[in-house]
């Protein structure tokens, strides 16, 4: 009876083994069956783990591929092709021909270094430049730094708003103030996509607008190609008058944008918002180099195209110091189709850059004042002064160029902290800047600051 009960508790697989091999007793057969079952389960687990590992590796490779890293620099690059650039570069080309081509080339080369350093700071520390500043300054210092940064943000939005209003006026005949209100409303809607799971959508919208800008501003060069030797002559560094120094500073302010420096350190982290896994720091830094070079190569091409277009087609013509005058001159020289394409590019430039500028202002406020204000509130702060200028200013384009000079003065406040932090072993660890790069960065900062000091002196003396 006892034996029968024992057999009933034995696994069926053991019974089968006992029947197949009569020389094995049932208890030994059960041990063999358990061993075989254990090996089978282990094999299943190994196969499942192998499949999961392959799937995870595939997902990681897809998520961490170069295409998945690109984007932040293209959003930041929008700041380099805003309506302020249009005004500064067209005015430069119309007044001085190819004289200041070298300023744009030099400014674009410096911007590649500066934007990469901003991206690097954000990638390595996981924090934005405004956040790091806010952590290292007292209350009074944080407020004063925020005040100057906010003035820069207002000057930035002024240029973008005026450019968009002028574009709507040229395309549809709308009054500048009404056009400014429309630009403000549409750009606020674009900002709804910023942050969280929709951030990639925001990036795609901005990049699409950047492509429209590119086409809109280089189309004229295909109709009237410039003389390559004349363009090459503009690569020789020189000034002719004190006014050309003011113009160079305005171009520098329109090219190396302070808010883009602050923002890029945020963009590289917001790119992976919503719980998305990040690649390694090394992979991110390698990808950012490509991202920055291609994005700013595109932006630099647009800027050069604007100056060359004006130098080639508008040089010496009356009334080209304003965007409206330049557009009318383009229509008269190159035809209404090119003039319309130019206006569409200007509109895309305004919509994209004003959205990016407000995004930067929000991050500056959050990092320095530790206030996470709603995006619409940040939009209102920078929008209202621009609307006031559109209502009262007799020549909005002149106000736009002056705004670029203000931006130029604000550049050192962004560059110097960035230079210090990327050379800090405490912050950057093994990714700290080496002596060669640090010296190069110092040279860039000194050059920019020297040009700004010269601008201030000339303005003070009434010679600019």
DSSP string, 294-312: HHHHHHHHHHHHHHHHHHH
| Average pLDDT of the residues in 219-241 | 91
| Mean pLDDT computed over every residue of the chain | 82
Supply the pLDDT for residue 18: 52
What percentage of the chain carries pLDDT values higher than 70?
81
Angle (CA) 96 81 316, round 5° = 20
Supply the pLDDT for residue 28: 52
Tell me the C-alpha distance between 227 and 231, whole Å. Answer: 7
Residue 369 in this model has a pLDDT that exceeds 70: yes
What does 256-276 look like in DSSP terms, one character per residue? Answer: S-HHHHHHHHHHHHHTTTTTP
| Length of the chain in terms of residues written | 464
Tell me the C-alpha distance between 36 and 44, whole Å. Answer: 12
Tell me the C-alpha distance between 69 and 431, whole Å. Answer: 19
pLDDT band at 88 (very low <50, low <70, confident <90, very high): confident
| Identity of the highest mean pLDDT range in 25-29, 187-191, 293-297 | 293-297
Supply the pLDDT for residue 4: 43
| Average pLDDT of the residues in 360-387 | 87
Enter the pTM of the model.
Answer: 0.81
- Residue with structure tokens 């103030």? 177
pLDDT tens column, 240-275: 887 888 888 777 766 778 889 999 999 999 888 766
pLDDT tens column, 407-456: 777 888 999 999 999 999 999 999 999 999 999 999 988 887 887 777 66
Least-confidence region, from 44-58, 238-252, 361-375:
44-58
| Average pLDDT of the residues in 125-138 | 94
Tell me the C-alpha distance between 123 and 431, whole Å. Answer: 10
Residue 276 in this model has a pLDDT that exceeds 80: no
Tell me the C-alpha distance between 6 and 90, whole Å. Answer: 98
pLDDT band at 9 (very low <50, low <70, confident <90, very high): very low
Is 98 in a helix, a strand, or coil?
A: coil
Tell me the C-alpha distance between 418 and 9, whole Å. Answer: 75
For residue 371, the Cα-to-chain-centroid distance in whole angstroms is 22
Residue 43 in this model has a pLDDT that exceeds 60: no
Supply the pLDDT for residue 57: 42
Q: How many helices (H) and strands (E) does the chain have?
A: 21, 0
- Which of the pair, 78 or 458, is modelled with greater confidence? 78
| Average pLDDT of the residues in 329-336 | 90
Is 271 in a helix, a strand, or coil?
A: coil
Residue 136 in this model has a pLDDT that exceeds 60: yes
Residue 393 in this model has a pLDDT that exceeds 90: no
What secondary structure, in 3-state letters, does 153-205 show? HHHHHHHHHHHHHHHHHHHHCCCHHHHHHHHHHHHHHHHCCCCHHHHHHHHHH
202 CB-contact burial (10 Å; exposed 0-12 / middle 13-18 / buried 19+):
buried
- Which of the pair, 388 or 320, is modelled with greater confidence? 388
| Average pLDDT of the residues in 140-152 | 90
Tell me the C-alpha distance between 378 and 319, whole Å. Answer: 36
Residue 401 in this model has a pLDDT that exceeds 70: no
* Whole-angstrom Cα Rg for the chain: 30
Supply the pLDDT for residue 274: 64
Residue 40 in this model has a pLDDT that exceeds 70: no
Tell me the C-alpha distance between 430 and 101, whole Å. Answer: 38
Supply the pLDDT for residue 63: 44
- For the chain, the straight-line distance linking the first and the last C-alpha, in angstroms and rounded, comes to 115
Residue 228 in this model has a pLDDT that exceeds 70: yes
Supply the pLDDT for residue 415: 92
Query: What domains, with CATH codes, occur in the chain?
Result: 2-49 (no CATH), 76-460 (1.20.1740.10)
């Amino acid at each position: 009876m006892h034996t029968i009960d024992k057999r009933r508790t034995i696994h069926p697989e053991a019974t089968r083994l006992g029947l197949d091999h009569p020389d094995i007793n049932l208890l030994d057969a059960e041990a063999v069956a358990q061993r075989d079952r254990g090996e089978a389960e282990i094999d299943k687990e190994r196969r499942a783990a192998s499949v999961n590992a392959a799937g995870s590796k595939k997902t990681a490779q897809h998520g961490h591929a170069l295409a998945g890293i690109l984007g932040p620099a293209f959003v930041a690059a929008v700041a380099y092709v805003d309506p302020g650039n249009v005004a500064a570069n067209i005015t430069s080309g119309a007044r001085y021909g190819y004289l200041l081509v070298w300023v744009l080339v030099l400014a674009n080369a410096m911007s590649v270094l500066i934007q990469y350093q901003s991206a690097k700071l954000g990638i390595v520390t996981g924090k934005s430049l405004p956040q790091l500043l806010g952590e290292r300054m007292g209350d009074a210092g944080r407020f004063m730094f925020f005040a100057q940064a906010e003035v820069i943000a207002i000057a930035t939005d002024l240029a973008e708003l005026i450019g968009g209003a002028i574009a709507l006026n040229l395309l549809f005949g709308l009054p500048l103030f009404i056009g400014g209100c429309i630009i403000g409303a549409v750009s606020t809607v674009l900002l709804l996509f910023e942050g969280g799971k929709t951030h990639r959508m925001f990036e795609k919208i901005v990049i699409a607008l950047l492509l429209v800008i590119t086409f809109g501003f280089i189309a004229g060069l295909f109709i009237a190609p410039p003389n390559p030797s004349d363009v090459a002559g503009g690569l020789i560094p020189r000034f002719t008058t004190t006014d050309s120094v003011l113009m160079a500073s305005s171009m520098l302010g329109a090219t190396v944008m302070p808010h883009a420096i602050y923002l890029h350190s945020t963009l590289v982290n917001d790119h992976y918002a919503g719980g998305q896994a990040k690649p390694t720091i090394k992979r991110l830094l390698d990808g950012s180099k490509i991202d920055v070079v291609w994005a700013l190569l595109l932006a630099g091409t647009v800027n050069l195209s604007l100056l060359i277009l004006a130098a080639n087609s508008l040089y010496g013509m009356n009334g080209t110091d304003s965007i409206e005058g330049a557009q009318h001159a383009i229509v008269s020289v190159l035809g209404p189709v090119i003039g319309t394409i130019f206006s569409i590019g200007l509109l895309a430039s305004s919509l994209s850059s004003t959205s990016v500028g407000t995004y930067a202002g929000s991050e500056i406020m959050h990092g320095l004042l530790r206030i996470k204000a709603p995006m619409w509130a940040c939009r209102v702060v920078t929008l209202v002064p621009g609307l006031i200028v559109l209502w009262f200013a007799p020549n909005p384009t002149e106000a736009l160029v002056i705004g670029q000079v203000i931006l130029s003065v604000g550049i050192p406040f962004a560059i110097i902290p960035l230079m210090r932090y990327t050379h800090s072993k405490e912050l950057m660890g093994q990714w700290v800047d080496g002596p060669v790069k640090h010296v190069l960065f110092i040279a860039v900062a000194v050059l920019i600051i020297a040009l700004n000091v010269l601008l201030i002196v000339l303005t003070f003396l009434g010679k600019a």
